[in-house]
Amino acid sequence: MEAKTKQNTEKITSTQLSEAVVDSILDTKGKDVVVMDLRELTDAFCDYFVICHGTSTTQVKSIGENIVERIKKEFDDRPLSSEGKTNSEWVLVDYVNVVIHIFLKDRREFYQLEELWGDAKVTRYSDEGDVIV
């Protein structure tokens, strides 16, 4: 999927959007960032899942807010929906082809979202932003 950038002269791909989301998560010290590439899966409803966790409900909420602010500022794009900010144990930000899941660590371990899409290509990032092979 492509979205218009702020200048409305370029398009952003779902890959570029997912990369900007990862940068935003790392800027707010999100932990164990994982990007799941779902494009090759026939039953997937989006191109990417981006998953991470925070150490407190305040951080989980802040990560989600930072993503929305950054994508709005850089690409003039808003999410289709954003849910879970009330209790901030699991915040979901939906940009249609990029869906972001921000958990508290114990909620992430409980739901094991990464296991549901075991056939997806997975890229993990260290807390410093390095790709972990």
pLDDT at 11: 77
Q: Give the model confidence (pLDDT) of 2-44 as tens digits.
A: 454 444 446 789 999 999 999 999 999 999 999 999 999 988 8
Count Cβ atoms within 10 A of the Cβ of residue 133 and give its class: 0-12 exposed, 13-18 middle, 19 or more buried.
exposed
What does the pLDDT look like over 64-119, one tens digit per residue?
999 999 999 999 999 999 999 999 999 999 999 999 999 999 999 999 999 988 88
66 contacts 74 by C-beta, under 8 angstroms:
no
Q: Say which CATH topology domain 3-119 has.
A: Beta Polymerase; domain 2 (3.30.460)
What is the domain partition of the chain in residue ranges? 3-119
Rounded to whole angstroms, how far apart are CA atoms 114 and 95? 19
Asked whether the beta carbons of 128 and 33 are under 8 A apart, the reply is no
Task: Name the pTM for this structure.
Answer: 0.89
